[in-house]
Each structure stands twice: as structure tokens, then as C-alpha cells.
Amino acid sequence: MIKDKPIIATTLSGLFLKHEPWNKAHILWLERAAEKLKDPSIMNWANRPDYFNCVDGIMRRLYPSLDERERVIKAREMFFESVCEYAKKNPKVRNEPIIKYFNSLKERYRLALITTNIQSALERILAVANLKDLFDITETSLPEEKDDKRVVFDRFIKKYGKPLVYIGGSRKDSFDYCKENNIPSLFANLEHEQEIPEVQSAHNLKELKERLSNL
């Protein structure tokens, strides 16, 4: 039975899809905000690593009648719309060999996606990227939650137990969680980012296969 198969948990960005849609989405988000508010100075945040610090202030200006919870939901919806838009315009963000390889694993394993995308946005992203049938399990953020991978991990483990391994992108908090909870993990460093101390990496499909063969 499928429920008896061990679970390989994964990320989406940096593994099946390149980081580009997420890295560029905030620029599209800021462009829309600058246009709506007629304030070009908003784009000064576009190339700053701490761009997220401007989000709350911009959302208060855009939607002064909404409370904080409603603004968080709206901001996340707007951001993920930008992710979808970028992925749709740039189909080459799909990592085709990686997708093909993980499809080949589905006979022996359940594939789970643990993500801070919200469910409605994830469904659109998977549809745009033609990945709707890849995952057996998806665990997402709730609309009112801020970007907190630990909360999503907790919810996943309560439902399904610990995965056989977690294959993540460049988010260190995911690997910190795995270390604290004795979950084997692997950094899919396919875009040659800075290594994460004490976390094993795979830099290409060959290395990824080798690492997973040792499970």
C-alpha cells in the first residue's frame, strides 16, 4: 500500500524549480506596489537583501482598512502570484533531469513537499510548472501564517511521522530543524550556493543519486 512506503521529503525551490521565480518575485511585487501607490522610491528596496523589511509598511499603505492578519494573507497572495507569473513566463526554470529522476522513485517512495507556500498558491505553481502529479503529499503554510518552515515541519510530522530524509534548498532553518529532530537531510546545492556547515550537499544529479543510494 502507498501509505506504507517510506517518505522522501523535499523542497520545491532550488530542486525541481530553479530559485529564479522566488528570487525575482519580490521585484514584480514591488513594481506593482510602486505603481499602485505612485511611489517609485519603493523600488529602492528591489536589490536589498532585507527587502522584506519594507513589506509591512507598504501593505499598510496599500490596504489601510485591513488588520494585520488580513494584510499578511494579502501580501503572501500577491507574492505567490508573482512567483506564478515568473514561472509561467520562464518555463526553463524547471529542472527536467531532477524531475525525471524523482518520478522514477515513486514506485518505492512517497514524495512529500514541505513548503511555506500557501496551498492555493502552491496549486497554481504546480499547475504552471506541470508538477501536479509529482507529489504524493504536500504540507503548506496556512494563509494567516508568516514564512515559518518550522511550523510547517511540525504539522507534517504530526500527520505523517518523520521522513526517511529531507532534501532541501538553501534555507538553513530547515536543516536546523532536521538536526534538532534527528531527521537525515541533504542540501540540494544545484546552483552552487554557499555551503551550509555540517550539512551534506549534492551539487548535481549524479551526486544526488549517490547520496540517496546510501539511505
The pLDDT of 183-190, averaged and rounded, is: 96
Q: Is the pLDDT of residue 13 over 70?
A: yes
Task: Tell me what pLDDT residue 77 has.
Answer: 85
Cell of 150: 518550522
Between the alpha carbon of residue 184 and those of residues 47, 149, 198, the distances in Å are 34, 16, 12
pLDDT digits (tens, 9 = 90+) for 59-112: 999 999 999 889 988 888 888 888 888 888 899 999 999 999 999 999 999 999
Q: Where are the domains of the chain?
A: 2-18+94-213, 22-89
CA distance 68 to 131: 33
pLDDT at 3: 65
Q: Is residue 143 over pLDDT 50?
A: yes
Mean pLDDT of all residues in 16-20:
93
Model confidence band, residue 1 (pLDDT cutoffs 50, 70, 90): very low
pTM, to two decimals: 0.83
- 2-18+94-213 is classed in which CATH architecture? 3-Layer(aba) Sandwich (3.40)
Q: What is the pLDDT of residues 103-138, one digit of tens each?
A: 999 999 999 999 988 888 889 989 999 999 999 999
Does residue 166 contact residue 178 with C-beta atoms inside 8 Å?
yes
pLDDT of residue 2: 56
Closest listed residue to residue 117, CA positions, set 9, 7, 8, 13: 13
Q: Which of 142-146, 186-190, 203-207 has the lowest mean pLDDT?
A: 142-146
For the four alpha carbons of 180, 185, 191 and 192, in that order, the dihedral sign comes to positive
